[in-house]
A and B are shown apart, each in its own frame.
Chain A
Amino acid sequence: KAGVTQTPRYLIKTRGQQVTLSCSPISGHRSVSWYQQTPGQGLQFLFEYFSETQRNKGNFPGRFSGRQFSNSRSEMNVSTLELGDSALYLCASQTTGSSYNEQFFGPGTRLTVL
């Protein structure tokens, strides 16, 4: 079974631009969570989607948004990029919305904001 895939793997943007990252969960998984990892703040939860609805949201500004499609694929968008948005963005999928199930992480998208 294929793992979680994320595209693109690397991205360079400039301040003020916006960016869209994509995550394809493991086949059959319906929940997708997004995390941001920076050297200073570590791994931080952004949001979780289940059945096309946002279920949980971390403490990030409204510039960070996401959505989930009917095939469970998810995208996250960051508008008006700032230098501090440079990070590794990870997505994780699990079979259902229940936290009984394990989360499987993708390789991440490394975003650099210049």
Chain B
Amino acid sequence: DAKTTQPPSMDCAEGRAANLPCNHSTISGNEYVYWYRQIHSQGPQYIIHGLKNNETNEMASLIITEDRKSSTLILPHATLRDTAVYYCIVRAVGETGANNLFFGTGTRLTVIP
């Protein structure tokens, strides 16, 4: 029961912005959009999350469309160390929200020197 759709792979030149899209057309009102990434053979790493407003932290920016049916993760200046699989996840948040994350297939981002 995949709730998100992501392109399987993308390339980005080192130093340029990487824009990773995600479609989540069936997102519910109480579901947030989360992004994690997994560098080869390591555990997933939390990047950012948001509900409906755009969010920015030291790692990335998250742009969510007004209808919330899609979002874009932006890595402003990609480095070789950003090469990883990026997962977009929708997750109900709240006291009774499920803590199981559904990862889907993700986008394999390759940063090219």
Question: When chains A and B are docked, how far (Å) is the Cα of A33 from the Cα of B44?
Answer: 13
Find out whether the CB atom of B97 lies under 8 angstroms from the CB atom of A107.
no
A20 at the interface (CB under 8 A from B): no
B44: contacting residue among A90, A98, A100, CB under 8 A: A90
Residue of A88, A100, A103, A107 near B101 (CB, 8 A) is A103
When distances are taken between beta carbons in the complex, the residues of chain B under 8 Å from A31 are 99
The answer to whether A64 has its CB under 8 Å from any CB of chain B is no
Given A43-B44, A107-B43, A99-B97 contact (CB < 8 Å): yes
Interface segment, B12-20, B61-69, B71-79, B87-95?
A: B87-95
Assembled-state Cα–Cα distance A15/B102 (Å): 29
Q: Which of B99, B102, B106 has the largest count of A CB atoms less than 10 A from its CB?
A: B99
Q: Is the interface of A mostly helix, strand, loop or mixed?
A: strand
B44 and A99 within 8 A (CB): no
What total of A-B pairs shows CB separation below 8 Å? Answer: 63
Contact at A56–B99, with CB atoms within 8 Å? yes
A99 to B42, CA, bound (A): 23
Given contact pairs A100-B93, A105-B45, A42 touches B99 in the complex (Cβ within 8 A): no
A90: B residues at CB distance < 8 A:
43-44
Please tell me if the beta carbons of B98 and A99 are within 8 angstroms of each other in the complex.
yes
Contacts of A88 in B (CB 8 A): 41
Which of B94, B99, B104, B106 contacts A55, CB < 8 Å? B99
Residue numbers of B with Cβ under 8 A of A are 41-46, 49, 87, 91-95, 97-106
What are 12 A-B pairs with beta-carbon distances under 8 A? A33-B100, A43-B87, A44-B103, A45-B102, A55-B99, A92-B43, A98-B97, A100-B94, A105-B45, A106-B43, A107-B42, A108-B42
